[in-house]
Amino acid sequence: MNATTTTPTHVVTADALGVVLAENVHVVGQLRETSIDSFDAAAGRLRRAERVFVLGAGRSGLALRMTAMRLMHLGLVVHVVGDVTTPAITRGDVLLVASGSGTTGAIVRAAENAAAAGAGIVAFTTDAASALAALAEVTVVIPAAAKQDHGGPLSEQYSGGLFEQSVLLLCDAIFHALWKASGATAEELWPRHANLE
Gap between the terminal Cα atoms of the chain: 37
Beta bridge partners of 138: 122
Task: Kindly list the catalytic residues.
Answer: 164
Largest pairwise CA distance in the chain: 61
Q: Which amino acid is at 116?
A: A
Q: How far apart are CA 150 and CA 134, in angstroms?
A: 25
CB atoms within 10 A of CB 94: 25
Phi and psi torsions of 164, nearest 5°:
-65, -40
Q: Which of 107, 89, 97, 98 is nearest to 51 (CA)?
A: 89
